[in-house]
Amino acid sequence: MRLALQLLTFNRLETLRALFDSLAAQTDRDWAFYILDNSTDEAKATLIAALVEEQKGRLSIVFERSSSNIGFTGGHQHLYERHNADYVMCVNDDVILEPEYIERVCRGLDEQPKVAAVGGKILRWDFDPEGVRSGIGNLVKKTDIVDSLGLAKTRYHKVYDIGAGKKIPDSRPDPIPAIPVFGVSGCLPLYRRVAVGSQLFDPSYFMYKEDVDLAYRLAKTGWASIIVPSAVAYHRRTFSIQARKAVVPFFIQWLSYRNHWRNLGKHLAWRDWLVSGWLIIPYEVAKFGYLCYNYRTEFLNAVRKEWL
């Protein structure tokens, strides 16, 4: 098998039909579609299963329900072990792909044998009364606001989405050739199996920063990652950075913080600390202080449970 698409669903129905419609419109249809439902809400799980069943007439779907929520990383690893496709694409349930997205990112792997990970130009979308109607009855508004143009890494090993929140002018041409980056965003990445090996994502991460872990792993073994700007997709980002503390549950904040430290521990050698420690340590102390001040008991209890 050349390509497998992997999708996890979790208690969310409203964006799925728009995703399925965009997949059915792809110019490259040479792939199998593996879906695992992690839902904890029985009513929503029933509706998701019904919607997936409805799609089987136009999409090559292999569907199953998990008996428990095994997380984003555990779910994708489970699906990864269900097939032996040369290429694997992880698909979020809140993305919409332009018709040539799969064709163009796959071409990036076909034409560049040293490349292990490919992403496209990921912009943002939201529901809007003036948008284009999707099949589920919602109105979809595509924007020119960047969600991710790949992952970049600072000298103090903060990894961030390139261009996030910035507007791309209509007159700006797509750069050619593809752009080399540190890694690709976890919302719609394409990976080469031979580069990834037996473990796609580390299940112990549960969710968040697993794409950063894989970016480090690939870079350390000499594989390249690229962005193909002519491949365009849209992501509905749930949380804004500006409203982070107000809307993001502490559990999510903690997973992001914990997994960031896992990445530092796994991937930084002593030489990295010697060269960049004077930048890393003040940044991490400031972050620790922010979480401790804003979450106090929750944060300290989580630290004790995880590391003490």
The per-residue pLDDT for 68 is 87
At residue 241, the pLDDT reads 45
Q: Which residues of 275-292 are buried (b: 16+ CB within 10 A; e: fewer)?
A: ebeeebeeebeeeeeebe
Torsion angles phi and psi, residue 80, rounded to 5? -60, -35
Mutual orientation of helices 42-55 and 16-24 as an angle, nearest 10°?
20
Q: Which two tokens stand for residue 45?
A: 């799980």
Domains parsed from the chain with CATH numbers: 3-235 (3.90.550.10), 244-307 (no CATH)
Residues in the chain predicted with pLDDT less than 70, given as ranges, are: 129-138, 169-176, 238-248, 308
pLDDT value for 277: 81
- Tell me the pLDDT tens digit for each residue of 87-113: 999 999 999 999 999 999 999 999 999
pLDDT of residue 163: 93
- CA atoms in the 13 A half-sphere facing the CB of 50: 7
Residue 186 to residues 58, 105, 119, 201, 246, Cα–Cα distance (Å) = 26, 14, 9, 10, 24
pLDDT at residue 169 in the model: 65
Each residue's pLDDT tens digit, 130-165:
655 555 456 788 899 999 999 999 988 999 999 999
Is residue 192 within 8 A of residue 245, CB to CB? The reply is no
pLDDT at res. 45: 93
Residue partners of 306: CB distance under 8 A and separation at least 6: 258
Identify residue 173 by its one-letter amino acid code.
Answer: P
